[in-house]
């Protein structure tokens, strides 16, 4: 079909895994062909048709088969079985700089990269000024690569890979190389390819880029296609797979006699009913948004033993819809008497920038005295106005001493990880959407208001 760029039918890829090099040698030399290996199917029956001109996001946990699939499409690997047809030239941004010779200059390595990827010498010479300008490393372009910094290296590697004229572009976590200015240039080039009607396969662990950049998304797990379709639904499924796996791992690594009541993310039960009970063990690890890489400081006078995020009546969900009302529940057990407890939380970006933080002292709220053995549930409520992205949440308990922070008793930093999703296009940039309004107060010009798309929250 002329309108299909890539057609895959029942594509499989098998690897033979050995416990040691000696077992590989034994199998090769065994007179009766005894098997010492075990089979691993990196891809197990993948069938997908990708039309020309679409940008397809590919999501999946580590080891799900994404990279194997891309290498097969790029011609680096051959499938064990199945059929694959690719129409047009393919340019793959997989392992940037693979094959670069450290003794060669940047210019010489660009020519070498062109010959490896099947681009003629004359075409590479014609494109060299464009590649040199895109890399923007000045006179170092004609110096040996071994003298480059890591940033200069990826600039040249990316410029060499992107500045060709492919029909199909494969991008595997390669848009976030270099500094901020260079990343901006990379995204601009990506946009140029989209406007030119190129077919793009985009793989990333930053799922928030998928709705922004892609027309469609495919979710992989265990070498198979789990979902193929709407980008928002694909992101939801990806995070569900990601967090459910982390929760299973956490449960397996903890030996707790008492288990918290199970919680369906769409349960009709309230968070208070689920959290309130005889349960006094620490079950934070059971929550879907729990981050096992949290850090903690505690005096053990009181301990945070459970928490839950509720958004639009969805309990314990790692996804929060933009504009929805959010409730944060915190369960605390007091081991000692605390005269004036203080509770607080903070929301931070992936790189640790605090977006918002508050506590009951700052809010002017007073918590009554807690005695040893008391189990209390506290609730914070707010409207979600953060733009799409990944965020982490800190939770803390302190004793009010008349200052904003108090005397810290238990603080669990980055205990929760949640993602803000938004179905329509944001009307502002940055981390927060202020929902700005505009009006013309004077002047003859007519103001034409485009009705903004609304989404049920």
The pair of three-digit structure tokens given for residue 180, joined into one six-digit string: 């901020």
The pair of three-digit structure tokens given for residue 171, joined into one six-digit string: 């991008």
Q: Of the ranges 74-78, 158-162, 252-256, 325-329, which one carries the lowest mean pLDDT score?
A: 252-256
135, 154, 315 from 183: Cα distances, Å: 12, 11, 37
The answer, yes or no, to whether residue 222 has pLDDT greater than 80, is yes
pLDDT (average), residues 137-145: 89
Q: Of the ranges 236-240, 302-306, 425-429, which one carries the lowest mean pLDDT score?
A: 425-429
If 0-12 CB within 10 Å is exposed, 13-18 middle and 19+ buried, where does residue 439 land? Answer: exposed
Helices then strands (H, E): number in the chain? Answer: 9, 19
pLDDT given for residue 192 in this prediction? 84
185-193 contact pairs (CB < 8 A, 24+):
185/134, 186/158, 186/162, 189/134, 189/162, 193/169
Q: Of the ranges 54-63, 238-247, 258-267, 382-391, which one carries the lowest mean pLDDT score?
A: 258-267
pLDDT given for residue 403 in this prediction? 87
pLDDT given for residue 62 in this prediction? 82
Q: How far apart are CA 279 and CA 175, in angstroms?
A: 46
The answer, yes or no, to whether residue 93 has pLDDT greater than 90, is no
Strand order, beta sheet including 81-86: 38-51, 4-17, 81-86
41's enclosing H/E stretch is: strand 38-51
The answer, yes or no, to whether residue 139 has pLDDT greater than 70, is yes
The answer, yes or no, to whether residue 102 has pLDDT greater than 80, is yes
Q: Where are the domains of the chain?
A: 260-421
pLDDT (average), residues 396-402: 92
pLDDT (average), residues 437-457: 54
Give me the architecture of the 260-421 domain, per CATH. Distorted Sandwich (2.70)
pLDDT given for residue 70 in this prediction? 87
Quick one: what percent of the chain has pLDDT higher than 70? Answer: 83
Q: Tell me which of 235 and 8 has the higher pLDDT.
A: 8
**Mean pLDDT, all residues of the chain:** 80
Quick one: what percent of the chain has pLDDT higher than 90? Answer: 19
pLDDT given for residue 426 in this prediction? 57
- Whether the model pTM is above 0.85: no
pLDDT (average), residues 24-39: 81
pLDDT given for residue 422 in this prediction? 66
Task: For residue 437, give the nearest of 445, 446, 447 by alpha carbon.
Answer: 447
pLDDT (average), residues 431-457: 58
pLDDT given for residue 423 in this prediction? 56
pLDDT given for residue 97 in this prediction? 61
Confidence class of residue 95 from pLDDT cuts 50, 70 and 90?
A: low
Q: Tell me which of 285 and 206 has the higher pLDDT.
A: 285
Q: How far apart are CA 398 and CA 383, in angstroms?
A: 25
pLDDT (average), residues 393-413: 91
């Amino acid at each position: 079909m002329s309108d299909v760029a890539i057609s895959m039918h029942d594509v499989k890829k098998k690897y033979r895994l050995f416990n040691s090099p000696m077992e590989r040698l034994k199998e090769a030399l065994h007179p009766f062909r005894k098997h010492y290996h075990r089979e691993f199917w990196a891809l197990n029956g993948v069938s997908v048709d990708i039309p020309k001109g679409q940008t397809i996001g590919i999501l999946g946990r580590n080891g799900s088969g994404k990279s194997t699939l891309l290498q097969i499409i790029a011609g680096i690997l051959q499938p064990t079985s199945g059929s694959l047809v690719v129409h047009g030239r393919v340019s793959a941004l997989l392992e940037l700089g693979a094959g670069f010779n450290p003794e060669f200059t940047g210019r010489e390595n660009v020519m070498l990269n062109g010959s490896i990827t099947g681009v003629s010498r004359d075409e590479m010479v014609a494109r060299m000024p464009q590649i040199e300008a895109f890399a923007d490393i000045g006179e170092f372009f004609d110096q040996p690569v071994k003298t480059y910094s890591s940033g200069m290296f990826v600039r040249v590697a990316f410029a060499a890979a992107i500045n060709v004229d492919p029909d199909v572009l494969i991008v595997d976590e390669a848009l976030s190389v270099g500094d901020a200015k260079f990343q901006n240039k990379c995204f601009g080039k990506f946009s140029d390819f989209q406007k030119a009607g190129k077919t793009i396969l985009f793989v990333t662990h930053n799922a928030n880029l998928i709705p922004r950049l892609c027309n469609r998304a495919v979710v992989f797990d265990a070498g198979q296609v789990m979902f193929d379709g709407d980008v928002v639904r694909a992101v939801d499924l990806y995070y569900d797979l990601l967090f459910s796996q982390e929760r299973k791992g956490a449960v397996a690594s903890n030996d707790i006699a008492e288990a918290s009541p199970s919680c369906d993310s769409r349960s009709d039960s309230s968070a208070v009913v689920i959290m309130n009970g005889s349960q006094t063990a620490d079950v934070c690890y059971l929550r879907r948004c729990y981050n096992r890489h949290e850090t903690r400081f505690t005096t053990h006078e009181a301990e945070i033993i459970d928490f839950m995020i509720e958004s639009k009546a969805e309990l314990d969900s790692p996804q929060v819809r933009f504009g929805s009302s959010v409730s944060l529940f915190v369960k605390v057990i007091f081991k000692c008497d605390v005269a004036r407890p203080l509770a607080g939380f903070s929301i931070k970006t992936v790189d640790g920038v605090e977006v918002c933080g508050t506590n009951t002292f700052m809010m002017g709220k007073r918590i009554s005295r807690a005695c040893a053995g008391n189990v209390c549930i506290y609730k914070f409520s707010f409207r979600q106005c953060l733009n799409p992205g990944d965020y982490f949440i800190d939770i803390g308990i302190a004793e009010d001493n008349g200052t904003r922070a108090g005397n810290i008793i238990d603080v669990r930093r980055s205990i929760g990880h949640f993602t803000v999703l938004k179905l329509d296009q944001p009307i502002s940039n940055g981390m927060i959407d202020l929902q700005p309004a505009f009006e013309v107060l004077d002047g003859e010009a007519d103001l034409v208001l485009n009705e903004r798309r609304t989404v049920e929250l």
